[in-house]
Structure 1
Amino acid sequence: MTWQEIYQSKLTTAEEAIKLIHDGDKVVTGFACGEPIHIERALAAHYKDYKDVEIVTMLTLIESPWSMREFKGHIKLNTLFASKSTRAGINSGDSEFTTSHFYEIPDIIQNYICPRVSIVMVSPPDEHGYVSFGTTVDYTKGTTDYCEVVIAQVNKCMPRTFGNSIKHVRDFTCFVEFDEELPEVVSGEPSAIDMEIGKNCASLINDGDCLQLGIGGIPNAVCVQLTDKKDLGLHSELVGDGVVPLLESGVINNKKKQTNVGRTVLGAAFGSKILCDYINDNPSVELHPIDYVNNPIEIAKNDNMVSINSCLQIDLLGQVVSDTIGLSQFSAVGGQVDFVRGATMSKGGRSIIAMPSTAKHGTVSRIVPLITEGSAVTTPRNDVNYVVTEYGIAQLKGKTLKERSKALIRIAHPSFRPYLMEEYQKRFSETPFTDEEMKSFKDTIAEIIQTKREEFHSTIEQKIDKLISKK
């Protein structure tokens, strides 16, 4: 049979495809921009037909149905990444959460979770009968090697990507053709705080460095401030739209890499149509399985590797919390530790933890004496090198406990420095700074208080003026 005949013989509808799922099955699905939404919708609509089915996935960019209480006993979610629509279910106990470093997730799914069914999204087949996993190779492609049943949504909107991202139509159980726009991660404008953090991060990046960037305001702010750099490389578990101008301008050209020379290497693409259009049929961008991309040994093969990751909280010893808030699961470890360790092992490499100094509109310090009770440490203190906020850079590796604490207090928000200094004194039985430094801190805090007063008075005056104008 020709590949066309094989493909035609395997075409079916979503309603027919989900009949291949049995009670008690574990079903692994693609995630993020590669989530097979059309087939998932069919499965959700027929949830009453199933008993004790477990959906195994990661980050979802849509409203996930699997956490709904009416699905209990029929379909249950086991996710490896908590997102906006799954956090409540995880923290209430209606859904399950499995924690793992990202590079180990392919092994975790295959050898510990052991799904029978894989549901993925792919591009239409090319002239040789190969489909591409497009934006999401990560753990997704590997599941199609060992699952007994492999169902693929074929979507013309899925870009074709190079690297280890293709598979022949003969290796699938069935195909469901349905075209729809991919879920998007649209890049917003970086805030003023993001830009300050990005500026501080950019000061640690040299010409010829190889970068790992994530998605969001801080990575985008870093990208904006790298336009004067030369010959940068990119080896990253995922990226957003922010890298596209750097790739198009040649700032990122991957010439100085030791592996995959001249090629950008990704595990997944999390962006909008801007990013999808750039990676589509682009031989300079390769997508590979995450157990390759995020393997610290592979990461370290590139000299001058710079990893940039964010966090929720860090204590004065340098312990980093990135995926939990107390007992609540907020996200996941992801690839943070993979790249922190890979960058540390790299010749000339360095890792950066970047974050705003505060949370909750400036009411909570992210730099704390002790991490919140119940929170899990994501990156141990011994792995942490640079910590960056909008107030500066703290270099922790090789520093004593006292030196670490003082460096972190210096980059904390000025409003919280007195409290942190008091806690330092309790712990170490000495004042952290000289009298001159203490006076400087007090002057800075006085300026902040005065600014806040002026802002408050201005806000009140504006509200009064609005009330008067309405009369």
Structure 2
Amino acid sequence: MAANLTRAFLKPLKNIQRVSGALSQQKHRFFYDYAHEPFYPLPNRVPRWQTVEEAVSVIKSNDNVYIHGAAATPITLVNAMTEYGAENNLTNIKLFHIHTEGIAPYTRPEYEGIFRSNSFFIGGNCREAVNAGRADFTPIFLGEIPLLFRRNIINLDVALIMVSRPDDHGFCTLGPSVDCTRAAIQNAKHIIGLVNPKMPRTFGDGIIHKSHFDALVEDEFDLPEKPRHVLTDEEKSIGRYIAENLVEDGATLQMGIGSIPDAVLEQLQNHQNLGIHSEMFSDGVVDLIKSGAVTNAHKKIHQGKIVGGFCVGTRSLYDYMDDNPFIVMCDIAFVNNTSIISQNPRVTAINSCVEVDLTGQVVSDSIGTRMYSGVGGQIDFIRGAKSFKINKGAGVVTTRAHVHYIVTEFGIAYLFGKNLRQRAHALINIAHPDHRESLERASFERLKVMPSSD
């Protein structure tokens, strides 16, 4: 009988089980899993193909709405939702997302009271609104965001996602952004899919059968891109320090986006048998693959394959990912699971930061009291890897006990096992020469003793 039930029927059935307790726990678990697994085809259920205006008209006042993020931001749906909310005098719609691309119109002052954004990682399009008090930020480890949906801490009325075209069997994919979106669509009552022919098809956890959509909209547009940065001499110097001193052959790499990770990757092309297991990556990984340095041969988790949670880069990256079994995009709860990460060999995590103090505390989500980005996956990988930070120059994301290496264009400071006086000495020695004297004075004022290596 269960095989013939549709998703529309299973959700009410699940709620009845919770209220009445009439079914056994074993049956409850079976129906719950069946109703929430988006991979399998639902029999005799087809989505409605609608206009974008028709699709978003399901959104009501007080709804919780999830927005697919990063390069998979469903911009057409976002814009239509914003217009619909204003035109129909809706109020108190809560929007949940990691960083999104595009202008995020719902954060503008004129939409206050209609929409309230809640970022799990702040993008540039939400930063002003968060710091002005019109939007919220939830500090949370990237790998734990799916728990908000799977533990029903946040229950979603609508999910707005972007997918690749259905294949001959009816399967779409979440393309370059699986991250916490798989958990969101498992939780959401109503799923609206934006089918974009320019979305790459990806392997891994981001597969959803079209029968799970309540509405589908088609629109073709270029995915958001992050242009490659021309590396400065300082960035190249940091890249060389890391590549030549801290990354071994056979290492499994985690890296973020930006010029420093790209500088490191550029210097790794003579390494051998590198693996990639990273919450995200960008174009620099493709160059490294093409050099022959990445084989994933020594990895224990998805051996022979690159593992990622989401990607943002140029069209070249998206084209490389398209229908490429060498890359597996996975649920971020898996990618950033410390026990999974630590099984891989010589895991080396490269993370950027905003500030480092003289004791090794790392600030990554704020500049003073001004919120800037988010917690992300630093701690997820620091707990499962040899890690080091990149200093650019405040809430503490990474404690002084977590950090092993700090790298600047002036060298490497190794902090593990060092006391505060020794840490201050090591960090001052890799600071800009113009600031070292003032940092020594600051260290003495704080520690009441001069920094020293002994």
What is the CA–CA distance in structure 1 between the aligned matches of 2:60 and 2:383, rounded to whole Å?
Answer: 41
In the other structure, the counterpart of 1:43 is: 81
Structure showing greater radius of gyration is: 1
Task: Determine helix, strand or coil for the equivalent of 1:45.
Answer: helix
In the other structure, the counterpart of 2:167 is: 126
In the other structure, the counterpart of 1:170 is: 211
Q: 2:131 aligns with which of 87, 91, 106?
A: 91
What is the CA–CA distance in structure 1 between the aligned matches of 2:365 and 2:47, rounded to whole Å?
Answer: 45
Q: 1:101 aligns with which of 121, 141, 146?
A: 141
Question: Given that residues 144 and 172 in structure 1 are in contact (C-alpha distance below 8 angstroms), is that contact kept between their aligned partners in structure 2?
Answer: no
In the other structure, the counterpart of 1:152 is: 193
In the other structure, the counterpart of 1:274 is: 316
Shift of 1:6: 6.7
Task: Determine helix, strand or coil for the equivalent of 1:32.
Answer: coil
In the other structure, the counterpart of 2:9 is: none
Question: Given that residues 237 and 266 in structure 1 are in contact (C-alpha distance below 8 angstroms), is that contact kept between their aligned partners in structure 2?
Answer: yes
In the other structure, the counterpart of 2:23 is: none
Residues 45-64 of structure 1 aligned to structure 2 (within 5 Å): 45-48=83-86, 49=88, 50-64=90-104
Task: Determine helix, strand or coil for the equivalent of 2:387.
Answer: strand
CA 1:411–1:113: 2 relative to 1, 3 Å: same
Higher normalized helix content (fraction of residues): 1
Task: Determine helix, strand or coil for the equivalent of 1:394.
Answer: strand
Shift of 1:213: 1.0
Deviations 1:100-135 (A, max 9, x none): 000001112442222211110000011111001110
* 1:181 pairs with 2:222: yes
Task: Determine helix, strand or coil for the equivalent of 1:151.
Answer: strand
Unpaired runs of at least 5, structure 1: 344-349, 357-365, 367-374, 435-471
In the other structure, the counterpart of 2:304 is: 262
Shift of 1:73: 1.7
Q: 1:424 aligns with which of 443, 447, 450?
A: 443
What is the CA–CA distance in structure 2 between the aligned matches of 1:153 and 1:430, rounded to whole Å?
Answer: 61
In the other structure, the counterpart of 1:442 is: none
- The AA in structure 2 aligned to 1:33 is A
Unpaired runs of at least 5, structure 2: 5-40
CA 1:225–1:159: 2 relative to 1, 3 Å: same
* 1:354 pairs with 2:390: yes
Residues 18-417 of structure 1 aligned to structure 2 (within 5 Å): 18-48=56-86, 49=88, 50-110=90-150, 111-202=152-243, 203-343=245-385, 350-356=386-392, 366=393, 375-417=394-436
What is the CA–CA distance in structure 2 between the aligned matches of 1:433 and 1:249, rounded to whole Å?
Answer: 43
- The AA in structure 2 aligned to 1:284 is F
Deviations 1:321-367 (A, max 9, x none): 01111111000011111111111xxxxxx1011124xxxxxxxxx2x
CA 1:268–1:15: 2 relative to 1, 3 Å: same
- The AA in structure 2 aligned to 1:384 is V
Question: Given that residues 186 and 241 in structure 1 are in contact (C-alpha distance below 8 angstroms), is that contact kept between their aligned partners in structure 2?
Answer: no
Question: Given that residues 307 and 330 in structure 2 are in contact (C-alpha distance below 8 angstroms), is that contact kept between their aligned partners in structure 1?
Answer: yes
- The AA in structure 1 aligned to 2:128 is A
Question: Given that residues 52 and 80 in structure 2 are in contact (C-alpha distance below 8 angstroms), is that contact kept between their aligned partners in structure 1?
Answer: yes
What is the CA–CA distance in structure 1 between the aligned matches of 2:68 and 2:47, rounded to whole Å?
Answer: 24
Deviations 1:286-324 (A, max 9, x none): 000100001111111112000000111111111100111
Question: Given that residues 149 and 183 in structure 2 are in contact (C-alpha distance below 8 angstroms), is that contact kept between their aligned partners in structure 1?
Answer: no
Deviations 1:211-254 (A, max 9, x none): 00111000110011001100000000001111101112321110
User: Root-mean-square deviation (CA), in Å?
Assistant: 1.8
TM-score, normalization by structure 2: 0.87
Question: After TM superposition, where is structure 1 displaced by more than 3 Å over at least 4 residues in a row?
Answer: 3-9, 427-434
What is the CA–CA distance in structure 1 between the aligned matches of 2:80 and 2:124, rounded to whole Å?
Answer: 22
What is the CA–CA distance in structure 2 between the aligned matches of 1:229 and 1:185, rounded to whole Å?
Answer: 26
Shift of 1:5: 11
- The AA in structure 2 aligned to 1:40 is V
Task: Determine helix, strand or coil for the equivalent of 2:310.
Answer: strand
Question: Given that residues 6 and 169 in structure 1 are in contact (C-alpha distance below 8 angstroms), is that contact kept between their aligned partners in structure 2?
Answer: no
137-146 vs 421-430, greater mean Cα deviation: 421-430
What is the CA–CA distance in structure 2 between the aligned matches of 1:433 and 1:304, rounded to whole Å?
Answer: 31
419-428 vs 99-108, greater mean Cα deviation: 419-428
Deviations 1:146-200 (A, max 9, x none): 2110000001110001111211111111111111111111211111111111111
Task: Determine helix, strand or coil for the equivalent of 1:228.
Answer: coil
Deviations 1:255-295 (A, max 9, x none): 01111100000000111111101111111100001000011
Question: Given that residues 57 and 84 in structure 2 are in contact (C-alpha distance below 8 angstroms), is that contact kept between their aligned partners in structure 1?
Answer: no
Task: Determine helix, strand or coil for the equivalent of 1:378.
Answer: strand
CA 1:95–1:326: 2 relative to 1, 3 Å: same
Shift of 1:82: 1.6
Identity of aligned residues (%): 38
Aligned length: 410
- The AA in structure 1 aligned to 2:291 is S
What is the CA–CA distance in structure 2 between the aligned matches of 1:9 and 1:257, rounded to whole Å?
Answer: 40
What is the CA–CA distance in structure 1 between the aligned matches of 2:234 and 2:326, rounded to whole Å?
Answer: 33
In the other structure, the counterpart of 2:35 is: none
Question: Given that residues 163 and 196 in structure 2 are in contact (C-alpha distance below 8 angstroms), is that contact kept between their aligned partners in structure 1?
Answer: yes
Deviations 1:76-119 (A, max 9, x none): 11111222221111011111111100000111244222221111
In the other structure, the counterpart of 1:437 is: none
What is the CA–CA distance in structure 2 between the aligned matches of 1:61 and 1:340, rounded to whole Å?
Answer: 27
Question: Given that residues 160 and 280 in structure 1 are in contact (C-alpha distance below 8 angstroms), is that contact kept between their aligned partners in structure 2?
Answer: yes
What is the CA–CA distance in structure 2 between the aligned matches of 1:115 and 1:398, rounded to whole Å?
Answer: 45
Shift of 1:9: 5.0
Question: Given that residues 47 and 216 in structure 2 are in contact (C-alpha distance below 8 angstroms), is that contact kept between their aligned partners in structure 1?
Answer: no
